[in-house]
Amino acid sequence: MPETFLRTKKLIFMADLFKTKKAALSFLNERMKNCTQVETEILFTLSDHIISQEHSSYFDFDLNGKYNASILETKDGFKVDIAFKKHSAIVLAAEAGDLELFKKEFQKNQSTNALSLAFVMAILCENLNILQFYYSADYVKRLSLFIDPLITASRNDNINSFQFFLRRGLKLPNEILGPIFHDNSKFIMSHIIGDTFLSKAILEEKYQTAWAKNELLKKDNEATRMFKAHLNDTNRSIIQST
């Protein structure tokens, strides 16, 4: 079987079609046997060419990189694609939630940029052990963060990271509603509405930014519907109490 398998910054590997998914999986597992698998997602599509897609990610700590692999089911068989991208070891450790490796790399005087990117990656992957280490090492204030951690968490509905930062005492930034509405962060909106203090605070004028108002008008999703229902319930309670 002809194949391309070069470990470069952006490795692209493509194999001929396999007759069965079992054969495709066996082929993929053989090539990833020295790596750590972190996630798998199966998608079904309505494409004329692709019936289903199975995507997996693998960490290669020897090469300081990450493989993104796909098994694509077509009407002719199963196709395997693999892409490789280099990362710094500390960013990989943060993404994988490998605390021991993270501590080891942390001691190597990492650049502020690398540590900042690793912090963001830990938020997105909800690796609270890594986030806790930053606070324990009193390093958060030294990071170069362009976006508030609570907004970073809300963009992907990372509820565990969101709750972690609230427990650490972070206050909701004024711009929080915009990304929640835009990205339909329903778990985070549900948490805010379910919290006695936050449910009242979120109705304050400072949170009703132009972005939030615009998204509320344009989007009809679970997050916006929950907010509108909460707003209506609050107004109804005020009227009944007068």
Listed residues 110, 127, 146: the one ending a domain:
146
Q: What would the pLDDT profile of 181-199 be if each residue is shown by its tens digit?
A: 999 999 999 999 999 999 9
CA gyration radius, the chain: 22
Residue 13: the pLDDT is 62
Percent of the chain with pLDDT over 90: 49
Q: Is residue 37 domain-shared with residue 15, that is, in the same domain?
A: yes
Q: What would the pLDDT profile of 43-59 be if each residue is shown by its tens digit?
A: 666 567 788 888 888 87
Q: Is residue 155 domain-shared with residue 240, that is, in the same domain?
A: yes
Q: What would the pLDDT profile of 92-132 be if each residue is shown by its tens digit?
A: 889 889 999 999 999 987 788 889 989 999 999 999 999 99
Residue 229: the pLDDT is 94
Flag whether 194 is in a domain.
yes
Flag whether 39 is in a domain.
yes
Residue 2: the pLDDT is 33
Listed residues 86, 116, 132: the one ending a domain:
86
Listed residues 98, 116, 146: the one ending a domain:
146
Q: Count how many domains the chain has.
A: 3
Q: Is residue 160 domain-shared with residue 191, that is, in the same domain?
A: yes
How far is residue 235's CA from residue 202's CA, in Å, rounded to a whole number?
A: 14
Q: What would the pLDDT profile of 217-240 be if each residue is shown by its tens digit?
A: 999 999 999 999 998 887 655 444
Domain region containing 54: 10-86
- Mean pLDDT, rounded, for 209-219: 93
User: What residues form DSSP beta bridges with 11?
Assistant: 84
* Residue 3 DSSP one-character state: B
How far is residue 151's CA from residue 100's CA, in Å, rounded to a whole number?
A: 28
Residue 219: the pLDDT is 92
- Enumerate residues 6+ apart whose C-beta is below 8 A from 38: 57, 58, 59, 95, 96
